[in-house]
């Protein structure tokens, strides 16, 4: 478990505290409640670190696992085709057997 965290990257999520003045709040956060540290430019990052030491901003750390994914597969369900499919009797029969055995087990206890 530890080696996986060593290969992770970390980001800081910033939360404004009530002691933060409105000018800095609008400059750093805008209209949102939280902000990612990595999305700020260097000057704002330095200012945020000073405000964090003063207690005006609270930090929360978020770890992101760096998996090297070469391909990703995406599946999409075509509901029209799925609705028109005919379910074979064999599948219906096995499904009904599963329900029967489940009901039978409930009544045997």
Which long-range CB contacts under 8 A does 32-36 form with residues at least 24 apart? 36/11, 36/12
Report the pLDDT value the prediction gives residue 74, as an integer from 0 to 100: 67
pLDDT of residue 15 exceeding 70, the answer is: yes
CB 37 within 8 A of CB 45: yes
Within a domain: 26: yes
Tokens standing for residue 63: 């770890």
57 to 3, 14, 44, 47: CA distances (angstroms) = 31, 7, 13, 11
Mean pLDDT value across the chain: 78
Q: How many residues does the chain have?
A: 109
The pLDDT value given to residue 96:
65
Instruction: State which H helix or E strand residue 27 sits in.
Output: helix 22-28
Q: How far is CA 106 from the centre of its chain?
A: 38
Q: In this predicted structure, what is the pLDDT of residue 80?
A: 80
Q: What is the pLDDT of residues 36-78, one digit of tens each?
A: 998 999 999 999 999 999 999 998 888 766 666 566 666 676 7
Find the largest Cα–Cα distance for the chain.
71
Domain ranges, residue 90: 79-108
**Percentage of residues in the chain having pLDDT higher than 90:** 37
Name the 3-class secondary structure at 62: strand
pTM of the model: 0.53
Answer with the residue of higher pLDDT: 104 or 43: 43
Q: What is the reported pLDDT for 83?
A: 72
Instruction: Tell me the Cα Rg of the chain.
Output: 27
- Both 19 and 45 in one domain: the answer is yes
Number of domains in the chain: 2
Residues 48 and 95 placed together within one structural domain of the fold: no
Q: Quick check: is 71 in a domain?
A: no
- Residue 49 is predicted with a pLDDT of 93
Are residues 33 and 58 located together in one domain of the fold?
A: yes
């Amino acid at each position: 478990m530890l080696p996986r965290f060593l290969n992770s990257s970390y980001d800081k999520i910033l939360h404004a505290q009530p002691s933060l003045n409105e000018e800095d709040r609008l400059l750093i956060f805008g209209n949102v409640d939280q902000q990612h540290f990595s999305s700020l430019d260097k000057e704002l990052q330095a200012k945020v670190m000073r405000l964090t030491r003063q207690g005006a901003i609270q930090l929360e750390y978020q770890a992101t696992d760096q998996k090297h994914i070469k391909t990703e597969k995406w599946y999409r369900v075509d509901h029209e085709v799925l609705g028109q499919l005919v379910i074979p009797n064999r599948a219906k029969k096995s499904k009904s057997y599963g329900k029967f055995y489940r009901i039978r087990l409930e009544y045997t206890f």
